[in-house]
Amino acid sequence: MVSVDGCVFCEIAAGERPARVVLDDEVAAAFLDTRPVFKGHVLVVPRGHVETLADLPPEEVGPFFARVRAVTRAVEAGTGAAGTFVAMNNRISQSVPHLHVHVVPRNRKDGLRGFFWPRVKYDGDAEIADYAARIRAALDAGDDL
């Protein structure tokens, strides 16, 4: 897997930068967003550095999206959310130039409208660790991978 020096997501995937990781395997890493739309918002990134979906080799698309699918289920189960919003940007509005898929827990009347993404904050490290642990436990309990 190719990493790019200075890429935040490559550093997280390599274990060189701290993050609240919920999934870490040979295909992808998934971790809590530090500026979540809602608590439990996870980013799923391919282990190798690619900037956009078009750059992801065709043979890696299926395995990568299997991880996105598993994380989606785990976010719902781990947070008690009624559903999720799953999205990615390609270059425009992509805050880190490394492919990443947002998995955002959703509930009816949660205030999210269209592409207006308000941000929330965790109440501290204990709450962040709790959300990560619940999502990780839901992943471990699932049979998606």
CATH number, domain at 58?
A: 3.30.428.10
Confidence of residue 134 (pLDDT cuts 50, 70, 90): very high
pLDDT value of position 145: 64
* pLDDT tens column, 63-105: 999 999 999 999 999 999 999 999 999 988 888 999 999 999 9
Rg (CA), the chain: 14
Is residue 2, in this structure, part of any structural domain at all?
Answer: no
Confidence of residue 112 (pLDDT cuts 50, 70, 90): confident
User: CB atoms < 10 A from the CB of 76, how many?
Assistant: 19
Is residue 129, in this structure, part of any structural domain at all?
Answer: no
User: CB atoms < 10 A from the CB of 115, how many?
Assistant: 8
Domain ranges, residue 24:
8-116
Q: Which of 41, 49, 98, 100 is catalytic?
A: 100
Q: Where are the alpha helices (DSSP H) in the chain?
A: 8-13, 58-79, 125-141
Is residue 3, in this structure, part of any structural domain at all?
Answer: no
DSSP string, 28-51: EEEEE-SS-SSTT-EEEEESS--S
Residue with tokens 């929330």, as numbered in its chain: 120
Residue with tokens 């390599």, as numbered in its chain: 14
Backbone angles phi, psi at 22, to 5 degrees: -110, -20
Contact, 55 vs 99, CB < 8 A?
yes
41 is catalytic: no
Structural domain tally of the chain? Answer: 1
The closest alpha carbon to 134, from 20, 17, 16, belongs to 20
Is residue 126, in this structure, part of any structural domain at all?
Answer: no
User: CB atoms < 10 A from the CB of 72, how many?
Assistant: 23
Is 118 a residue whose pLDDT tops 80? Answer: no
